[in-house]
Amino acid sequence: MRKALIVWGGWLGHEPQQVADIFAEVLKQENFEVEISDTLQAFADAEKLKGLDLIIPLWTMGKIEQELVNNVSAAVQSGVGLAGCHGGMCDAFRENVDWQFMTGGNWVAHPGNDGVEYVVNIKQSSSPLVDGMQDFTVKTEQYYLHVDPAVEVLATTRFPLVDGPHVLNKAVDMPVAWTKRWGVGRVYYNSLGHVANIIAMSEVKEMMRRGFLWAAEGKELAARAGASAEAAYTGMADNQL
């Protein structure tokens, strides 16, 4: 049975415990053994993390010890999947650039705050993760992110929609969902999920379900191919060099 770890906490306005419960139910329906933790010390056992198939962080803002980031990074580099949503993954640990490098982006703004109505445009691509999915409308926070150019974009949203200092720039299609590789591990991110009822939307839940399965499959596929990746990148911050 595949194993998943969900770690929730940080800013509680994102309803991380409720979102964790939704994610756990999705994973159990896919025959995962699911562990849920509300402490970052769940990342302290490096060897245990490498024994997982999937790690799901739900921890907006907050601070994290560098060693814990290194442990997660090493696990993902070895093939463990990493998947998450909204601020719980890409507005986590703002001071830690190694986390941002691994996850593929970081939140910088949500013009108009909560309640902006916008379209999520599904980007048909080489990825099966969006096969058969159609564009849909949400009313929630619209995330403006700084994004790693190495990601494969699965869905976008158009900016600007509301007033702000960004409106005189040209229109941009901001990534909503993406994948990337970290070592031989697979990383999936979706910017939707401000609160639990957004995650519970059928379209969003299906995107997350597919993302979880895709990320978790990477470990077995890498093993079959004989691929491995030792954690050569230590994640040392500048002041540790």
Taking only the tens place, the pLDDT of each residue in 163-173 is 999 999 999 99
CATH of 2-240, one of 3.40.50.10710, 3.40.47.10, 3.40.50.880, 3.40.50.150: 3.40.50.880
- Residue 25 has a CB neighbour count (10 Å cut-off) of 12
**What pLDDT is recorded for position 229?**
56
Question: What is the amino acid identity at position 163?
Answer: D
Which pTM value belongs to this model? 0.94
The mean pLDDT of 51-68, rounded to a whole number, is 98
The mean pLDDT of 124-149, rounded to a whole number, is 93
* Percent of the residues in the chain that have a pLDDT greater than 70, as a whole number: 94
Q: In sequence order, what are the residues at sequence separation of 6 or more whose Cβ sits closer than 8 angstroms to the Cβ of residue 72?
A: 43, 49, 55, 57, 82, 102
Per-residue confidence band for 223, with pLDDT thresholds at 50, 70 and 90: confident
Domain ranges of the chain: 2-240
The mean pLDDT of 207-230, rounded to a whole number, is 87
Flag whether pLDDT at 241 surpasses 60: no
- Residue 189 has a CB neighbour count (10 Å cut-off) of 27
Alpha carbons 157 and 140: distance in angstroms, whole number: 12
**Alpha carbon of 218 to those of 12, 41, 107: distances in Å?**
31, 25, 26
